[in-house]
Amino acid sequence: MKSLSTNEYSDGKLPVFVFPTNLNFYVDDQSTHKQVLTLYNPYDFMLKFKVLCNNPGRYNVVESEGLIKQKCCIDIVIRAINITPHNVSRDDKFRIQLYEHGLTSLLGKKDVPALLLSSKTEDIMGTRQRSQRPSSREMNEMYTSQRRESVVLQRSLPSIPVIVVSLLCVIALMLPTQGEASSIYSRIPDYLHLTVNQKLIAAYVLGLITMAILKT
């Protein structure tokens, strides 16, 4: 098997293997004030590591620098110090940086988020709230579904001109027919008395509109 060369990762993109991938500290639980990060070196060369923190005044890293032999691992102890319910934080993080032993060029890095919470109950409630919030994918699906429903509704409703023509056809069919006995005594003016052909045309148009609406 071809051995891995550090030259292949001179751009700082060497994969960093660390467990766990996040740390949770709770003010009311002293057993969580001490956490252990396990850093692995699966490669065929020795690595030098550094542990940085964006809030060093809140945490104590027992061994912030050291060496990891090839195919070995090392435990890094991290302690939360001077923690109170007033200085909880969700923005802390540790950065693991890897170098080839004896060189200064960065091979790889990885950030490990750290949560400092007042209690586990707060963490559980926050997790539930985050799980109840729809993800961006779910939001997009909801938006797409609503747009489709809106399009279907718009397609199913006839336009105003179609409604007007339909009403005119219905009115035309209700008007008296020329030549019928009932039209002689009608109070509707003679010019509104329609012929049989005119009513047939109105009925035909109304039928076409009805078929078109039913197909949408």
Helix (H) or strand (E) holding 17: strand 17-19
pTM greater than 0.85 (yes/no)? no
Distance, CA of 170 to chain centre: 51
Longest Cα–Cα distance in the chain = 115
Give the C-alpha separation, 120 to 94, whole Å. 21
The answer on pLDDT for 33 being more than 70 is yes
Asked if the model's pLDDT at residue 70 lies above 70, the reply is yes
Cβ neighbours of residue 58 under 8 Å, at least 6 residues apart? Answer: 80, 81, 82, 83, 87, 89, 92, 116
Quick one: pLDDT at residue 215? Answer: 65
- Segment 147-154 shows an average pLDDT of 54
**Mean of pLDDT values over 83-92:** 81
pLDDT at 1 over 70: no
pLDDT digits (tens, 9 = 90+) for 97-143: 999 888 888 999 999 999 888 887 755 555 555 555 566 666 666 65
CA angle 114, 116, 121 (to 5 degrees): 120
> What's the rounded mean pLDDT across residues 72-93?
87
| Residue 41: other Cβ atoms inside 10 A | 20
CA–CA separation, 41 vs 54, rounded Å? 24
- Give the span between the Cα atoms of 199 and 197, in whole angstroms: 5
Residue 20: cis peptide before it, omega within 30 degrees of 0: yes
What the block records as the tokens of 97 is 């940086």
Provide φ and ψ at 60, rounded to 5°.
Answer: -120, 115
- Band (pLDDT 50/70/90 cuts) for residue 28 is confident
Cβ distance 45 to 6 under 8 Å?
yes
The architecture that CATH gives domain 6-119 is Sandwich (2.60)
203-210: average pLDDT? 77
Q: How does DSSP assign 123-183, residue by residue? A: HHHHHHHHHHSPPHHHHHHHHHHHHHHHHHHHHHSPPHHHHHHHHHHHHHHHSPBTT-HHH
Asked if 71 and 28 count as a contact pair (C-beta separation under 8 A), the reply is no
Residue given tokens 């009932």 in the structure block = 182
d(CA 194, CA 179): 9
- Give the Cα-Cα-Cα angle 66, 70, 72 (nearest 5 degrees): 75
